[in-house]
Amino acid sequence: MKFAPKIFNSHPKTDGNFFEGMKKILGFKPKDIGIYKKAFLHRSLNKRDENGNPMNYERLEFLGDAMLGTVISKHLYKEVPEGDEGYLTKMRSKIVSRKHLNELGKDLKLLQYVESRIPKSHFGENIYGNVFEALIGAIYLDKGYEQCERFIHERVIAPYVDIEQLEGKVISYKSLVIEWCQKQKKDFHYEVYEDTGNDEQKHFAVKLTIDDRVMAKARATSKKKAEEKASKRAYYALQDKIESN
């Protein structure tokens, strides 16, 4: 007696919710769901493939970062024919800034799919952008360049990229202030100084001095943040002079 061959579902029940979630986010059916699962594996799991190589989202994040940069660069090259290399580089940096990628990851609610031994409440903001880039890397491996480009256009470029608006968006006030000081041959330096703040969490107090004049002071939970905050205050104090050059 011949028996009809048993048909196995390529997406078992354990993968059902994940597969449907990915299909909704991507706008198409994944071909190899296993690639997308890797995009959400945190290194704390210490998972390895059959060859002993580590399995986590970091390699896909590297690939996704490159694909995102390529697609955004191509879009800017076509849309802004008058833009020189420096302009195009600045615009791309604004679009793929860590803050922007984190917002995209949050909008897509990607954190719910991350597998980790670390409680999700312990992750920093960058986890959202990291897995968003890993997801793009997975799309490229699963579906190729054209589908990857289409996803980036639909999820990043169409809803968020407005050239005129981006032209007025400052990425780093510190970079602007330093660039202006260098052009004007002005001496400047950032200095951490004593602060008697009563916050329970440690804060750094930074002052920005330009030509021996203290232009701004700021406090934040890291030296980098305090420097950026002080730079922003200095920028607005010097805005007319900076923008006239």
Return the active site residues: 65, 133
Place of tokens 């940069």: 69
Long-range contacts of 182-185 (CB under 8 A, 24+ apart): 183/245, 184/245
Non-local CB neighbours of 134 within 8 Å, separated by 6+ positions: 38, 39, 40, 57, 58, 60, 61, 64
157 DSSP assignment? I
For CA atoms 20, 23, 26, 32, the dihedral sign is positive
Half-sphere exposure (Cβ direction) of 130: Cα atoms closer than 13 Å: 17
CB 102 within 8 A of CB 129: yes
Nearest CA to 36 out of 107, 137, 109, 127 is that of 137
Distance between first and last Cα of the chain? 88
Joined tokens for residue 166: 């981006």
* Phi (first) and psi of residue 108, to 5 degrees: -85, 0
Angle between helices 173-183 and 223-237 (to 10 degrees): 60
DSSP 121: G
Q: With H, G, I as helix, E, B as strand and everything else as coil, classify residue 3.
A: coil
